[in-house]
Homo-oligomer: A and B are copies of this chain.
Amino acid sequence: MEYRISDKLASLKPSAIREIFKSLTNPEIIAFAAGNPAAESFPTEYIQEKAAQILRESPVTALQYSVTEGYPKLREAVRKRLKDAFGIDREGDEVIITSGGQQGLELVCKVMCNEGDTVIAEDPSFIGALNAFRSNGANVVGVEMESDGMNTEKLEKALKDNPNAKLIYIIPTFHNPMGITTSAEKRREIYRLAKKYGVLILEDNPYGELRFSGEDVPTLKSMDTDGIVAYSGSYSKVLSSGMRIGFLCAPKEIISKAVVAKQVEDVHTNILCQMICESFVTSELYLPHLDKIRALYRKKCGLMLDGIKKCFPENVGYTSPEGGLFVWCTLPAGADLTEFVASALAEKVAVVPGTAFNCDVNAPSSSFRLNYSTPSDEQIVRGIEVLGNILRKY
Contacts and interface: CB of A to CB of B under 8 A. Distances in A.
Interface of A: 1-10, 12-15, 18, 21-22, 34-37, 39, 42, 44, 47-48, 51-52, 55-56, 59-68, 99-100, 102-103, 106, 110-115, 117, 128, 131-132, 135, 137, 166, 195, 198, 200, 226-228, 236, 240-244, 251, 253-254, 257, 259-261, 263-273
Contacts of A269: 244
Contacts of A228: 1
B62 A242 contact: yes
Contacts of A7: 114
Given A65-B241, A244-B270, 6 more contacts: A1-B227, A8-B114, A13-B260, A103-B266, A115-B115, A243-B272
Copies in the complex: 2
Contacts of A132: 264-265
A131 to B, nearest CB: 5
B65 A21 contact: yes
B242 A271 contact: yes
A345 to B, nearest CB: 19
A242 B63 contact: yes
Contacts of A99: 99, 244, 265-266, 270
Contact of A9 (B62, B243, B251, B257): B257
Contact of A65 (B63, B166, B242, B261): B242
Contacts of A251: 1, 3
Given A242-B271, A267-B244, A270-B273, A3 B254 contact: yes
B39 A264 contact: no
Contacts of A243: 63, 270-272
Given A55-B48, A67-B21, A111 B1 contact: no
Contacts of A268: 242, 244
A165 to B, nearest CB: 11
Given A1-B200, A39-B60, A63-B42, A18 B266 contact: no
A215 to B, nearest CB: 30
Contact of A135 (B12, B68, B261): B261
